[in-house]
Amino acid sequence: MPRYRYVCCMCEDEKIIFHLFEEAVDLSCHTCNTPAALQRALTSPTYLIPAAEQQTKVGAVTEEYIEKNREILEEEKRKAKEETYE
C-alpha cells in the first residue's frame, strides 16, 4: 500500500498516511484541530516491499505451490476412482 506525505496548511505539521489512491482520506489536522487543512505534498508514492519478496521470483513461488498441491490432487483423484457412485 502506498504512503503519502501530507502537510497542514495552518500549523505546517507533516504526516505520512498509508492509503490507496482512490481511497477517501480524513484531511483534518489532529495537531491544530483544523478540519480539511491537510494537503498532499508533491511526492511520488512509496511502496514498502519486504526483502524476501524482492529476491523471490514469482515463477519459483508458483511452481512450489503447484508441486505441493499436486500430491494432494493425485490423492483426491485416487480416492474418487475407488469410490462408486450410484
pLDDT (tens digit per residue) in 27-84:
888 888 888 888 888 765 556 666 555 566 667 777 887 788 888 878 888 888 887 6
Range of the domain at 12: 3-82
Tally of domains within the chain: 1
- Determine the straight-line distance between the first and last CA of the chain, rounded to whole angstroms: 52
Please tell me the predicted confidence (pLDDT) of residue 63. 81
Task: Name the one residue in this structure whose C-alpha cell is 507533516.
Answer: 14
Helix (H) or strand (E) holding 71: helix 58-82
